[in-house]
Amino acid sequence: MFGLKPDAVLDLPEKHYVLEDYEKGIARWCDGCGDHAVLANIQKLCREEQLDPDKTVFVSGIGCSSRFPHYMNTYGFHGLHGRAFPVACGIKHRRPDLDVFVITGDGDCCSIGAGAWIHAIRYNVNMTVMLFNNEIYGLTKKQQSPTSRVGTVSNTTPRGSILPPLHPMQVTLGVSNASFVAQTADWNPAHMYATIKAAHEHKGFSFIHILQRCPVFQPKLVDEWTSNRDNLCYLKDDNGIIVSEEIEKTFKNSIDYDCSNINTARELAQSNDKLYLGLFYKDSSKETYDEYGAHNLGATIEDKAAVLNAEFDKYGI
């Protein structure tokens, strides 16, 4: 460039992505639905981390939240009910270079998908998982879900639910090989963004339980937490979810916490005195199963044929 010294010329990246590069269509969720907040934060994360849309994949099952891949201008797979985890694990095994996100709901994950969910935790595949929990089946118009509280009135429980709910945090922390387990809420977008960012940076199965509003079928679900600050508590941990001082001040209660202690994490997950937001447990030392499954990716067709022929020769007569 004429008139400029060589050391004054900036080395700009070949491609810089902006929010519009990740946006696709108009989200068809109801006004006030917590899904909108998650979508905005995910798109922000993609921009801040400069994730290549061609190397980013969103996988979902069935439900309101599972429409998520339709609104991301990346690769996506809108799969069968409860089957997001097998698809995502398969993608990560054969393409470990991709950023894989799983979007699932309390009905999709905790009912028909429960078996796949538990084994995905055990495999500790390197992916970011977000469970949207509004404690109701929204897409099929208000049926009891596995996380619905006792007394929940729905189309399938007109006299109120009688079964105790399944608690996603307790389940995840109870599975061997859990490596990252966090909880956040859609009405605190700054905390939610920090949680998603920490999960994406973790190498392993990063599970985020997102408490969310359903303004149509569960309009009062989060009132006890949003109307009374005494009911919320921030887990303050230098190795956990770190927010700015301004956001930390929005919490009336906070405790110093150590996310490396799984026993304490399990105690908090079972607690009914407050709603705790933050990173409950993290262990970065655990191996990821996708690395084991992808060990032969560099093999040529000839290499694979030679291995197969060697196995077949063992049974020759």
Q: What is the pLDDT of residue 229?
A: 85
For 74, the token pair is 């990346």
Reported for 76-85, long-range contacts at CB under 8 A and 24+ positions apart, including other chains, are 81/108, 81/112, 81/113, 82/108, 82/109, 82/111, 82/112, 82/113, 82/114, 82/116, 83/113, 83/116, 84/59, 84/60, 84/108, 84/109, 84/113, 84/116, 85/113, 85/116, 85/117, 85/119, 85/120
Q: How far, in Å, CA of 96 to CA of 136, rounded?
A: 34
Q: What is the pLDDT of residue 174?
A: 96
Domain map of the chain by residue range? Answer: 12-313
pLDDT, one tens digit per residue, over 76-129 is 999 999 999 999 999 999 899 999 999 999 999 999 999 999 999 999 999 999
Query: At the top level of CATH, which class does the domain 12-313 belong to?
Result: alpha beta
pLDDT, one tens digit per residue, over 239-273 is 999 999 999 999 999 999 999 999 999 999 999 88
Q: What is the pLDDT of residue 5?
A: 57
